[in-house]
Structure 1
Amino acid sequence: MDKALQEIQYADHNIGCQQRPDAIEQRKKLEHAGNLHWVHYLVVALSILLTLGAWYFSKQQVLQKVEQQFEREAEQTIELIKERMELYENALWGGVSLIDSNGSDISYQQWSAYANSLHIEKTYPGINGIGVIFNIHPDQLASYLQKIRQNRPNYQIFPRHNKQEFWPITYIEPEQPNRKAVGLDMAFERNRYASIIKARDTGKAQLTGPITLVQDAKQTPGFLFYTPFYLDGRKPATVSERQHYIKGMTYAPFIMDKLMQGTLAEHKRHVAVRISDNSEELYYDRQTDPEPMFKKKVTVPMYGRQWHFDIRSNLGFRQAVDNSQPNFILIGGIIIDSLLLGLFIFLSRANRTALFYADQMTAELESKTRNLEKSNRDLEEFSYVASHDLKSPLNAIKQLVGWLEEDCSEFIPDSSKGHLQLLKQRSERMMTLLNDLLAYARIGSLVYDDEEVDLKEMAADIFAFLDAPEGFSCTAPRVKLKIARIPFDFVIRNLISNAIKHHDKSVGNITISYQQKNGFHQIRVQDDGPGIPPQLHKKAMEMFQTLRPRDQVEGSGMGLAMVNKFTEHQGGKLTIDSDGSRGTGIIVLWPVDPANT
């Protein structure tokens, strides 16, 4: 702000503050506070440091979450493979149970029905088929072939070998894609035969090492899954017993690529998997990242074999975890820091401008305050004068009516006597209205001191003074209150008076209750009168309002309005609690002076 503007500010300020010497000093402090200081620059510097710290912390958090996500996906990949292998194992043991229930034997039709009931293609994706292998000794070979060739005349065991036993694939479903494997003797090849002997001797499910299935045209790595069954459904306890009672195996052939596609489709994964059995590779993903963000190696025991998992994040993982949050935090922080500095500069200028306008507004407000005070005094004087000037002719009218009643009562017709009585009532109502209007105008102009009040004694005194009908009663608790007595007495008096005046029966009960709640005295004046409908609650507290015709109700219709104004002037609140059917509760909230608690 230029020098001329500052001079105008000081001139206007001095005019409005001639009677307050400390105001000039205070104003100088405000001007000084409106300039940029080292504190503002320190705040901006700290804000920049905070932004950099938030950026670094956010970056570390993102990296930690990304690493945790990779760990979860890696563990999930391994768990899915293990769960899938357990599912296949259950299917094979189910076949064993079926064979045991048929006396360690099963026909082609029975096995085909069992395999079809499994719905292999849908329920066991990745499996190549499910079949039965019988253990045949040389002396059993002729009878075995004769039995099988009854249904399949072309059945042959192949290839030749020098072992003293045969383990031919007898049944496999679905047969069409696996027809090259029908009759294949597991004893001809080391991996197949070693695992089948291990399954026999342990009585547990076993996997072979990596092999190439005869039915796989692509000649990709695969393996076989065996579960043994014994003569007459026995469960031999020793190795020698298992070797003696072995009857055969249920088995499932797997092509590793097909298994992995059925278990973990590449497009659904964010990690690349490579699986090997010892040094022989079983499977590897083609979706690889030349420089993976994360990688880990895990060895998992898998039905007598050790599968080595080499898991690495792939390109899909890099895209999925791409998180720009740290950069957004850094950019956003720099923007906020710039805005903060701009805000300090703006506030500094706005403060100086505000001081200038504040001086102008102060001068205007002081002028308006003086005018308002004068208007209030004039209004109060008018209220006194108007009430006095209106009361004088009103008293004269009442006196004339009285003279007419005294002097002319013998000559006036009965109908005219009724008119005189009505005129007298209307004059009295007008006098009451003037008195209440004057009292209403004076509310707020007086200050009342707190006094100690006994609520029970006050209610009893008011009730006795009102000269209530014999059928009415009023009860209140004995509570000592430190409160402005005069306005409080006025409020309670009017509420008790209204409860009596507006009652529609010759007997009634008025109950006053008290509790201190949330820093307020809560006084409830409850009657058992006709009640006030909810839609009329607001109207009942307005000036000159009565809920019944004026000729049927005493008073000016300002009682509840004055009670409400008195309560609000003391910082309280008045509400009506009534559903309109029966009884009305007037609730007064009167603030508790902290000095009196």
Structure 2
Amino acid sequence: MTSANVQERKISSLHVLVVSLSLMMTIGAWLYSKQQVNLQIESRFEASKNRTIDLIVDRMSRYEDALWSGVAHVDTLGADVTAASWKHFASSLNIEEKYPGVNGIGLIQFVDRQNLQAYMTARESEERDFSIFPEHDLDFLLPITFIEPENINAAAVGLDVAHETNRRTGLLASRDSGGAQITGPIFLVQDSGHTPGFLFYTPFYSGAAPTSLSERRDRFAGVVYAPFVVRKLVEGLLSKDLRDVRFSLRDGEQLIYNEHDPDEPLHDDAPLFTDTVELDMYGRIWTVDVRTNQAFRAQNSFDQPNLILAGGLIIEILVISMLVMLTRSNQQAHRYAEELTKELRTKTDHLEKANAEIEQFVYVASHDLKTPVRGIGFLADVIEEDLEEIIGPLAKHPEIKSQIDMIRERVSRMNDLTKGIMEFSRVGHRDSDAGEHLSVSKLIEDCVADFEVDATTVQCSSDVEFIRYDSHNFRRVMENLIGNALKYHPNPRIARIEVSIEDLGEHLRVAVKDDGDGIPAEFHEKIFAVFQTLRVGSGPESTGIGLAIVKKAIQRNGFDIWLSSSDGHGAEFKFDWPKNQMQAEIELENVA
């Protein structure tokens, strides 16, 4: 296999790598934008879910406040609470407007059977048709004495809540705790629909506020309560037409409210998001099952990821076209180089002319490559304009703006790669600086100025004042080594770089040492290869050509470069450089 064939094979592998990386970038951008859109949609679901939960908790808190105001009313009047005074109190609450979802507000009194006659006498004095029902064998009664509005709750007046377990258990728990309490699921006697409901209790006591369980039981006088039909409670929260989520409620194992029926309007058989939340609701555990509906799905369907994928694939086609052009150009360059090499073997005086012709060819190829690169940049601008016409200013869609900017950044990187390839091809040209001497101190001053660092950052000790051979490439080598030391330093402001040039008689030995993070041993050879970089994560961008240029420039003069470094302990690059042209020719003959 000829050297030209080997080179063509390397270039083909490079092309495959470039195409693969470009395709990975496109797919990565698509997946990233899709993930960002999904995160936005999920956050909207979380907001809708939290709003629903907060409405339930807030509304129950408001109902509790109303019940405690009833307790305050009872504490104020004591035994003088009458049907008329209770009706006046309930009307002042404006229940239908301020507390939608509640059936009413009532008073349940604790009656020992020994005091039943006195209790009934008090009711007769109010000239009311009042009776207690149903009969039971307990030694105390808990009749509903008053409830307003009475017209819609008449069936509940006189009901003894002690007769039924859930009603009685919740009330006694409220008595013992001294706090608000709701019952387990029940059916209200005044609910003709016979749907799940519950009672909400707040206790009151005779005399001063009790401080212990025994005092609360001894001085318990009754509760202020509110009856609820769960269906009406939810309707009072927020109309389903104004929500893009649906939910169900369970008290323990019993379903007390359900919006997940397939016959429900806007029901989604495969909701985008679901979640369950457990609420400690005044002594009961309510499980809220929240799911998105068809309205949520319609409002949260976005085509941005697909637009990005389509745009990326178009760019991918342009990149492949560009690489095909590059492959053809390289093949032509290799064939041309082979022809020139044959002539140069017998006509060494034509060497510089041939190099100039190759350099000119690289410039032409580079110019040809700029056209598709500019086309990619133009396409990015067109995509941005089209997207703004579809979805508005991209400032409101940072994820899309980020992907467009990423495309532009990759176009800029392609330009940098093209420039780097041109510079790599020109390493070794010395005609322009033949006979020129490079001041070592001036070189260090220029590096300090170019990299905008403090003068103390780069320290130099040198046995020679001038570099007298191939000064142009020597400057290029030093600028790359010092630049890399600063570029990859974790904190360039406090970096310390030491440059030493030692005269060994036959040649110069140069060392560039830094105090950065260092380079692991397994990468010491890799970093000198073309297009190889150790950049990770959000580290500085690199074309991977700088150190390849350094090595090529040094090897063109018959020497090599080596690295001493370990991870976390800085890096030191050392190389030899000829003192004059005679020394360079000797070294080149030794290499040959």
Given the two structures, how large is their TM-score scaled by the length of structure 2? 0.49
Q: Which has the larger radius of gyration?
A: 1
Given the two structures, how large is their TM-score scaled by the length of structure 1? 0.49
